[in-house]
Amino acid sequence: MGFLDIRNVTKAYGNVQVLHEVDIEVEEGEFLVLVGPSGCGKSTLLNMIAGLESITSGDIAIRGRPMNGVHPSKRNIAMVFQSYALYPNMTVAQNITFGLEMHGVPKSERDKALAEVAKLLQIDHLLARKPGQLSGGQRQRVAMGRALVRNPDVFLFDEPLSNLDAKLRVDMRTEIKKLHQKLKTTIVYVTHDQIEAMTLSTRIAVMFKGYVQQLGTPKEIYDQPANLFVATFMGSPAMNILPATVVTENGAAHAEITDAEGAPRRLRFSQQAMAQWAGRKVLLGIRPEAITDPEGADRKSGNIQQLRNRVTVTEPAGSDTFVTMTLSGKDVIARMRADANVVPAQVFDFAINMDKAVAFDPETEARILA
């Protein structure tokens, strides 16, 4: 039994099932990120943990204490909202201590807790201000202060960074991570941003259409996506997906694809077991960073396949150069070093790290476990 248990939880509004049998165990001190596109049910699940939405069936327990039907204020949780939800008529200090006041904590203790949190978040100088007089980043800090001051069992974050501009978002992301490392609190964090999910979490639950598609560490999610949705949702640019046919050559399984001219090309699979799929169609998934120039290829990889192909477009992005080519009739993006000598419309030798390649069953869209 975990610290926060979500067991077979479902949610339905009338006949519309928005969450199907979610089953997650969160350990103490874990940073769980629920990620998915809008409408996938991630915020609903968070609200159910918070007690703001009822549970249709299943159980939620915190520290072994069942939470079904328990009022939000009695769950010992704290939540940071997307809009921060700071009370506009109260000062920062009043905002932070409102929850303690409601729980009947004496004034002297409230002041002590406030001072601690203010120091931790470096908002001492803002305590007398109203939320309207704060910048976005400062509001974010106050919202976190309001959550921290209660010293709750579980922190819930509902897309807390999506109202900030790009630069501040990256800064605050680091802040949140630092805070988590320092305080070792249990956090459930909802976002639609896969980079936030990857960077912050100890575990990720990728959600889509009310199902948890995959639950795992960021590395598992990235390197061994459970299905096509997880593969394409996580990572930017997205994983390249190409139709391919599995063939065997000298006893080894290969993926047969076509190059820009339509000529068949073969890439040897690292996974021997792919031979079981010989003669069948699969979807080959290759991450952009697994396609490089030969000099930039991963030296630790045991299976670099060279492929000569025509370049369609190059997009220098400063740190990397993105190169587009056509394989099996699809646009394929490769991530090269910034100084890779690639010229559009010319042929180029690409190095494909097949250790990192995955294959999906075109019918079930599940990853082929080989």
How far apart are the C-alpha atoms of 350 and 353, rounded to whole Å? 10
Q: Is 134 in the site for other proteins (CB under 8 A)?
A: no
SS (H, E, C) 42-86: HHHHHHHHHCCCCCCEEEEEECCEECCCCCHHHCCEEEECCCCCC
Q: In terms of DSSP bridges, do strands 154-158 and 77-80 run parallel, antiparallel, or are they unpaired? A: parallel
Bridge partners of 254, per DSSP, are: 247, 268
Question: How many residues bind other proteins, per CB under 8 A?
Answer: 22
> Based on CB atoms, which residue is closest to other proteins, 139 or 254?
139
Q: Which residues touch 101 (CB under 8 Å, ≥6 apart)?
A: 110
Question: Which CB atom, from 102 or from 345, has the smaller least distance to other proteins?
Answer: 102
Q: Does 70 bind other proteins (CB under 8 A)?
A: no
Q: What tokens were used for 55?
A: 């549970």
If one asks whether residue 148 binds other proteins (CB under 8 A), the answer comes out as no
Q: With H, G, I as helix, E, B as strand and everything else as coil, classify residue 270.
A: coil
Enter the DSSP assignment of 228: H
One residue of 40, 50, 226, 284 binding other proteins per CB under 8 A = 50
Give yes or no for residue 322 binding other proteins (CB under 8 A): no
For residue 294, cis peptide bond before it (omega within 30 degrees of 0): no
- Tokens for 82, please give them: 């997307």
Grouping H, G, I as helix, E, B as strand and the rest as coil, residue 106 is coil
SS3 355: helix
Say if strands 4-13 and 57-62 run parallel, antiparallel, or are unpaired.
antiparallel
In 3-state terms the chain splits into helix, strand, coil percentages (rounded to 5) of 30, 35, 35
Of 19, 62, 79, 274, which lies in the binding site for other proteins, with binding defined by CB under 8 A?
79
Note whether 85 binds other proteins by CB under 8 A.
Answer: yes
Q: Is 136 in the site for other proteins (CB under 8 A)?
A: no
CB 5, min distance to other proteins, A: 20
Specify the stretch interacting with other proteins by CB under 8 A; choose among 45-53, 133-141, 198-206, 249-257. Answer: 45-53
Residues within window 323-362 making contact with other proteins, judged by CB under 8 A: none
- Which of 8, 57, 83, 217 forms a contact with other proteins (CB under 8 A)? 83
Distance in angstroms (rounded) separating the CA atoms of residues 157 and 147 = 10
- Nearest approach in angstroms of CB 217 to other proteins is 29
Asked if 202 interacts with other proteins (CB under 8 A), we say no
- The tokens 């000598």 sit on which residue? 341
275 binds other proteins, rule: CB under 8 A:
no
- Asked whether position 73 contacts other proteins by CB under 8 A, the answer is yes
How many Å apart are CA 259 and CA 244, to the nearest integer? 11
CB-nearer residue toward other proteins: 189 or 350: 189
- Identify the residue among 29, 68, 81, 365 touching other proteins (CB under 8 A): 81
Please say which residue, 146 or 173, places its beta carbon nearer to other proteins. Answer: 146
Instruction: Please tell me whether residue 1 binds other proteins under the rule CB under 8 A.
Output: no
Nearer to other proteins among residue 41 and residue 51 (C-beta):
51
| Assigned token pair, 323 | 């190169």
Q: Interaction with other proteins in 87-106: which residues (CB under 8 A)?
A: 87-89, 98-99, 102-103
Q: State which residue, 146 or 169, has the beta carbon closest to other proteins.
A: 146
**8 touches other proteins (CB under 8 A):** no
Binding residues for other proteins, rule: CB under 8 A, are: 50-52, 71-73, 77-79, 81-83, 85-89, 98-99, 102-103, 146
